[in-house]
Amino acid sequence: MQSVPAWVAALEGSGLGEAMRASAVLYPSANVLHVLFVVLLVGPIVALDLRLLGLARHIDAAALDRFLAAFAVVALPVIGATGFALFSADATALAENDAFRTKLLLVALGLTNAVVFRLAWRRRLVVWDKVPPLLGRLQAAGSVAIWLGAVAAGRLIAYL
7-25 tens-digit pLDDT: 999 999 999 999 999 999 9
- pTM (global) more than 0.85: yes
1 within a domain of the structure (yes/no): no
Report how far residue 154's alpha carbon sits from residue 9's, in angstroms, rounded to the nearest whole number: 21
Q: Answer whether 51's CB lies under 8 Å from 89's CB.
A: no
143: left (phi over 0), alpha (psi -120 to 50) or beta: alpha
For residue 119, pLDDT beyond 80? yes
**135 vs 74, 117, 130, CA distance in Å?**
28, 10, 15
The pLDDT-based confidence of 1 (bands split at 50, 70, 90) is: low
Q: Residue 102's domain spans which residues?
A: 6-156
Would you state the pLDDT for residue 20? 98
130 within a domain of the structure (yes/no): yes
90 within a domain of the structure (yes/no): yes
Q: Answer whether 92's CB lies under 8 Å from 12's CB.
A: yes
Count how many domains the chain has. 1
For residue 142, pLDDT beyond 60? yes
